[in-house]
Structure 1
Amino acid sequence: DLQIEEDLIEEVARMVGYNNLPTNPPLAPITAKVRPETERSPSTVRRAIAALGYQETINYSFVEEAWEKDLAGNAHPIRLLNPIASQMSVMRSSLIGSLLQVVKFNADRKADRVRVFELGRVFLRNASVADSDATVQGFDQPMKVSGMAWGPLEPLGWTGKSRLVDFFDVKADVERLLAPAQAEFVASEHPAMHPGRSAQVLLQGRVIGHVGELHPRWRQAWDLPHAPVVFELDLDAVTQRSVPVAQPVAKMQAVERDIAVIVREQVTHAELMQAIHSAPTLGLLRHAVLFDVYRPKAEAAGGLAVGEKSLAVRLSLHSDEATLTDAQIEAAMGAIMASLSERVSARLRT
């Protein structure tokens, strides 16, 4: 039995007697790690999502190869050498398939409303990853957080039947999860999502995930009566937060002005807001919100031509130094209208 050095050591220890060997506890310094104020723990993220009405699920990291191809656009997933089952032969690069399976499982058992989420690791090929104690060479293993909502927006109550959850409901959940950081949503395409009802989630100019309605093709393939809405984000981006900074209460009262502009139907909300905030208002414009969209039922009505729409925006102007004068307000409004006219060919609605 003596093949290596350790075999001889084992024989000596056996002859001496395991009970006779001295017990020497290891000595090592214990240093408490303090989490930075700019970082939330994964447990905090879990509680935040649960507070929005979602229930946590824990799923296998092994998934069907078809899920990777259909829902993640991954034609070359990481294969297992010895899978525990034929339908669990690859490592997942997205959490969407696991959540969709949970929704399908509950829908088949007559559940009319499902809200689920998962914090889990995904597995991607990445040649830049080096081998270490916590990494495997050639493979990236980031943490993701994903949620899926299906069914009515609210449980059945005395107020009547609720409408189905839509893109904007889940988008609001993502905004609450990332608060106080303000995310930007840009229309995009994702293999698992409806091409016209999905968006990239950007934080400080960096893409951190996607949110959107399940693609009609996969809704039909999974035999769901209506489409769920899903989001998937990088956990590292969600755990980061800014430290609150005290600011004095404004001494001067803000001025609000409403404008209604006519633009082409193709003009998006993001383009409109970008044109407004890029106007040279000398820092007087503090806030802008779209509060009304008007499209005529007839081909041309209300001063609108075919292919046009009216957008009403409330502008908030404020100065920390003094009360705004009429001249300052008119100059800021003129700069905003000039920027709208130049960037999105907008005109005032009369």
Structure 2
Amino acid sequence: MLISLEWLKQYVDINENIEELEKALTMIGQEVEAIDVQGKDLDNVVIGHIVEYGRHPEADKLSLLKVNVGEEEPLQIVCGAPNHKLGDKVVVAKIGAVLPGDFKIKKSKIRGIESCGMCCSKAELGLGKDHSGIIILPEDAPIGMEYREYVGLNDVVFELEITPNRPDCLSHIGIAREIAAYYGREVKYPKIEKLNDVTFTDDSIEISIEDRERCKRFAGRVIRGVKVAESPEWLKKRIIAMGLNPINNIVDISNFVMFEYNQPIHIYDLKEIAGGKVIARRGKEGEKLVTLMEQEIDVNGELVIADGEKPSGLAGIMGGLGSGIKEDTQDIFIEVAYFTPEDIRKAGRKFGIVSDAGYRNERGTDMENVPTVLDRVTDLILQLVNPQSVGKMIDVYPEKYQSTEIELNIEKLRRFAGKEIPKERIIEILTNLNLKVEDNGETLKVVPPSYRGDLYRPADLYEEVIRMYGFENIEDKMPIEDITAGVKNEVIRLMDESKDALAKIGLQEVINYSFIPREVKDMLHIEKEEIMILNPIVETMAMMRPTLIYSILNNIKENLNRNQDSIKIFEVAKVFEKTDDLLAKEDIHMAIGICGRDEKTLWNPKPEAYDFYVLKGYVEEYLQEIGIKGYKIVRTTNKNFHPGRAADIMIGKLVVGTFGEIHPEISEKMDILKERAYIAEMNVSLLKQYMNKKIKYERVVKYPEVTRDFAIVLDENVLVGDMIEAIKKSSDFIESVGLFDIYRGEHIETGKKSVAISVVMRDKKGTLNEEEINKVQDKILGIVKTKYLGEIRQ
């Protein structure tokens, strides 16, 4: 927000210098981003009058001048410009002036003739690019006056960083209130000069509010017989100081009042309002609007300002192209209204329209100040335009503003501030801020004004008192507190344990956004109901991710595109699923992604590509690290994975994860063509109940192990993992069962496979004898033959 110091001084007395004012504004929360001191490089630059004119005796292209600058004697100046003559009023930089570019004006000799100043061009003063000639001023320009004062460059413009909760400070009066409260001064509100003497006509149009949820108040007035013309200099100066270009007197008045009161105003050409009606309503199906920026938008369902036939503007943001003020406009209608901020914000984002009006309305304006603003605009039009007639105010206000009462406990405020602020000072601060205060002893009943919608609880008043009291007046004190050990949030603890385990086994962590593109739901087979973002920042962030698979695949693709050949990554994050009560179900998932092959080394010149078993190793190491036992690995039907090269991880009848090679069709859609991608995804929230990281000590067994190898011929479709699990459970003497070979080929029937397993047996209480070993072997062979229809290979 730009604030003109010269303009600001109309509303509050300011005696402080620029540095003091900057510090005060920052200390009360209106941070100063930049200060533009206009004319700061124009010290000792004044208006002069050429009283003598001649040629330089040593140079035909130089002139020798005597210039009256309001001092006892005229200055002798050598000038090289071609565009001046005797009697001209010019701009003179006197000795001691320092022009832009650190160009210092000194007494000097030019071709042997003394020169005591310089006649300046706009380029030399930093006011433009024209250096073809010096500045020639009108005949009535006062001799000796500082040039910056003559052209109005004696202002200081502050650029303030206004926080979103303080829309009242997006105006000169808002900042004037802050300064007045800080220094204990009065605010000088604009006076109505001509409106009080006007006889209002009954000339009006019908105003109605159909959408009362989004438009809370609508006031307007008809004025006839205006003349659209150029604005006076003082008004143009104010508009330029705000970074805008002056347009005409009517439009400039509306902008002036907006920057004065933080209330956007829209002024219509009355003849463009069909049917004599102005309506705040929802846009109808099929209705279009061409804005002042010539952008056509579909306003179906949006809040619009319409006449009897069509929409005339997008409410609170921008008017329609045809409704604005034109050169031949004679009769006007002034609109001042209050719109619900969140609805203006949504509409502005939806259409990508940025405007000064939208910027203010989406933060909130003062509902109670609508009539004052309408009268202020009308009064300025009376002063500058002198219209033929002024209609009475029409004010539609169906639901009146309800003020907020806040109970402020004095002792709690003092404890919060860490300072014994006197009660009288607290009341003074709140009163200076224009808050109504009722003293009830230990508490105060405080009622904020309508323009302070950010004040609705005691903590808000704490902030007001402290910032106006002065942070520098509150001493630094270390609090004395009992310190107790904190406990990690359960969700964070669970995520951290998984991250530590995965990093420990040699994987690198990746972190992705929780948003993924809309088309992922067509690319992946997702059984969960997705949560779509209504107004995504970009289309690649249109859906809350229900799985980590896409994110990990995208990481793999990006790394492959950057010539990374060995990718071993993981992510632990939340996934989201829509529920019946409209709240998102959030689960913690873990995902591992591997792709490519180990780096080439001297001892590994031809590394093999990663495969299913490499990923299986990482999965099993992870489960071991987090204390998961008693799981089994079974063939999966998950359509996101390659059939036959993927498996589910099950605990009991519960599927807690899936791992394997990603389906080739998905890899192709993700443009992962160089290598096969392997992904594991597990629901850590489900695994939580099975985690057991307690370490149980067991004495080293001193009795020897006995190993027996078996070659078993099975049908191709028999799951070896199930058979191994059954063998493990067949005897307490079986310590482990390992698979070390699978053979298909010569001497093995088609549709069969030879599986070689190694069984380790041990008795922890003594040495196994031959009879005990044979009993275990018989059990194994019985299970293989009866349950899995296998035969021992001869």
TM range (shorter): 0.7 to 0.9
- Alignment match of 1:318 (pick from 762, 765, 773): 762
Secondary structure of 2:758's partner?
Answer: strand
TM-score, normalization: structure 2?
0.39
Matched to 1:5, the amino acid is E
1:269 deviation in Å? 1.4
1:230 equivalenced with 2:675 (yes/no): no
**Partners of 1:78 and 1:123 within 8 A in 2:** yes
1:241 equivalenced with 2:692 (yes/no): yes
Distance 1:127 1:323 in 2: 62
- Alignment match of 2:721 (pick from 261, 264, 270): 270
- Alignment match of 1:32 (pick from 485, 506, 521): 485
**Partners of 1:72 and 1:93 within 8 A in 2:** no
| Equivalence for 2:736 | 287
1:182-227 deviation per Cα after TM superposition (whole angstroms, max 9, x unaligned): 4421110223211221111224653221111111001112222222
1:251 equivalenced with 2:702 (yes/no): yes
Distance 2:465 2:721 in 1: 78
* 1:315 to 1:53, Cα distance in 2 relative to 1, 3 A: closer
Secondary structure of 1:142's partner?
Answer: strand
Distance 2:723 2:529 in 1: 40
| Equivalence for 1:194 | 642
1:105 deviation in Å? 1.7
1:308 equivalenced with 2:708 (yes/no): no
* 1:203 to 1:26, Cα distance in 2 relative to 1, 3 A: farther
1:74-127 deviation per Cα after TM superposition (whole angstroms, max 9, x unaligned): 474101122111231111011111111122122223332322221211111234
**Partners of 1:68 and 1:74 within 8 A in 2:** no
1:213 equivalenced with 2:664 (yes/no): no
1:335 deviation in Å? 1.4
Higher radius of gyration, 1 or 2: 2
TM-score, normalization: structure 1?
0.83
Matched to 2:717, the amino acid is Q
1:184 equivalenced with 2:632 (yes/no): yes
Matched to 1:168, the amino acid is Y
1:107 equivalenced with 2:560 (yes/no): yes
Q: How does 1:69-108 map to 2 (within 5 A)?
A: 69-74=522-527, 76-108=529-561
**Partners of 1:264 and 1:307 within 8 A in 2:** yes
| Equivalence for 1:134 | none
Distance 1:347 1:197 in 2: 26
1:179 deviation in Å? 1.1
1:296 equivalenced with 2:741 (yes/no): no
Q: How does 1:57-72 map to 2 (within 5 A)?
A: 57-72=510-525
- Alignment match of 2:587 (pick from 142, 146, 162): 142
**Partners of 2:523 and 2:669 within 8 A in 1:** no
Secondary structure of 2:696's partner?
Answer: coil
| Equivalence for 2:788 | 344
RMSD of aligned alpha carbons: 3.2
1:146 deviation in Å? 1.0
Size of the alignment, in residue pairs?
332
- Comparing 323-332 with 119-128, greater Cα deviation is found at 119-128
**Partners of 1:201 and 1:209 within 8 A in 2:** yes
| Equivalence for 1:175 | 620
Distance 1:194 1:3 in 2: 65
* 1:197 to 1:318, Cα distance in 2 relative to 1, 3 A: same
Matched to 2:743, the amino acid is Y
* 1:29 to 1:205, Cα distance in 2 relative to 1, 3 A: farther
Matched to 1:188, the amino acid is T
Distance 2:681 2:707 in 1: 37
Matched to 1:151, the amino acid is G
Distance 1:68 1:25 in 2: 54
Distance 1:330 1:285 in 2: 12
1:35 deviation in Å? 6.9
Matched to 2:635, the amino acid is A
* 1:286 to 1:89, Cα distance in 2 relative to 1, 3 A: same
1:243 deviation in Å? 0.4
Distance 2:723 2:465 in 1: 83
1:144 deviation in Å? 1.3
Matched to 1:219, the amino acid is S
- Comparing 17-26 with 71-80, greater Cα deviation is found at 17-26
**Partners of 1:80 and 1:90 within 8 A in 2:** yes
| Equivalence for 1:120 | 573
- Alignment match of 1:3 (pick from 384, 399, 403): 403
* 1:68 to 1:10, Cα distance in 2 relative to 1, 3 A: farther
1:134-171 deviation per Cα after TM superposition (whole angstroms, max 9, x unaligned): xxx6321111121211111x112122121111111011
Percent sequence identity is 26
**Partners of 2:529 and 2:578 within 8 A in 1:** no
Matched to 1:60, the amino acid is Y
1:319 deviation in Å? 1.7
Q: Please list every run of 5 or more consecutive structure 2 residues that lacks an aligned counterpart in the other structure.
A: 1-365, 367-401, 407-434, 437-445, 449-460
**Partners of 1:278 and 1:339 within 8 A in 2:** no
| Equivalence for 1:261 | 712
Q: Please list every run of 5 or more consecutive structure 1 residues that lacks an aligned counterpart in the other structure.
A: 129-136
* 1:63 to 1:35, Cα distance in 2 relative to 1, 3 A: closer
1:277 deviation in Å? 2.9
Secondary structure of 1:42's partner?
Answer: helix
